[in-house]
Amino acid sequence: MGIENIGGWELVVLVLVGLFIFGPDKLPKAISDGVRMLRQLREMARSATGDLSRELGTDIQLEDLHPKTFLRKHLLSEDDEAALRKPLQGIYDDFRGTADSVRDDLGSTATRLDVHAPDPTPAPRPAVGAHTYDEAT
């Protein structure tokens, strides 16, 4: 996630909100303080991952700090990971096949219903003075 995810209109809105909140005289200082804070946060994250890598004796990236990724990459071998995935893979394949057949059945049913659908005529309106349940509640 970064600045490349911000579109033109979003950038304009951010600048206008910044102008309204900080004013034109304090906006450049607020932007420079924000950029400085981001740089310090990134440096702290790099330092923390570097320290952790040295302590564990392995190369750790920031993305590796997610617990699942960390376990998979640093504690399990490829054979261990394959052994853990094997029982679930069969269940996943069966589920995927069932889901695909249900989707195909629903698609063919929808196609048949579209072919045999009656003309869309408006429903008759109740006579004046006739009350429906919805009107009474």
In a domain, 69, yes or no: no
In a domain, 128, yes or no: no
Neighbours of 27 (CB within 10 A): 15
21 plus 45 within the same structural domain: yes
pLDDT in tens, 33-51: 989 999 999 999 888 888 8
3-class secondary structure, 58: coil
In a domain, 25, yes or no: yes
16 plus 55 within the same structural domain: yes
**Residue 57, Cα to own-chain centre: how many angstroms?**
33
Minimal CA–CA distance to 80: which of 91, 68, 72, 88? 72
pLDDT in tens, 2-30: 666 778 888 889 888 888 888 888 888 98
| Model confidence, pTM | 0.39
53 plus 88 within the same structural domain: no
Could you give the number of structural domains in the chain? 2
The per-residue pLDDT of the chain, averaged, comes to: 78
In a domain, 137, yes or no: no
Instruction: Say which residues have a Cβ less than 8 Å from residue 18's Cβ, sequence separation at least 6.
Output: 27, 30, 31
Q: Which domain holds residue 42?
A: 8-62
pLDDT in tens, 70-83: 766 767 677 777 77
In a domain, 42, yes or no: yes
C-alpha–C-alpha distance, residues 88 and 94, integer Å: 10
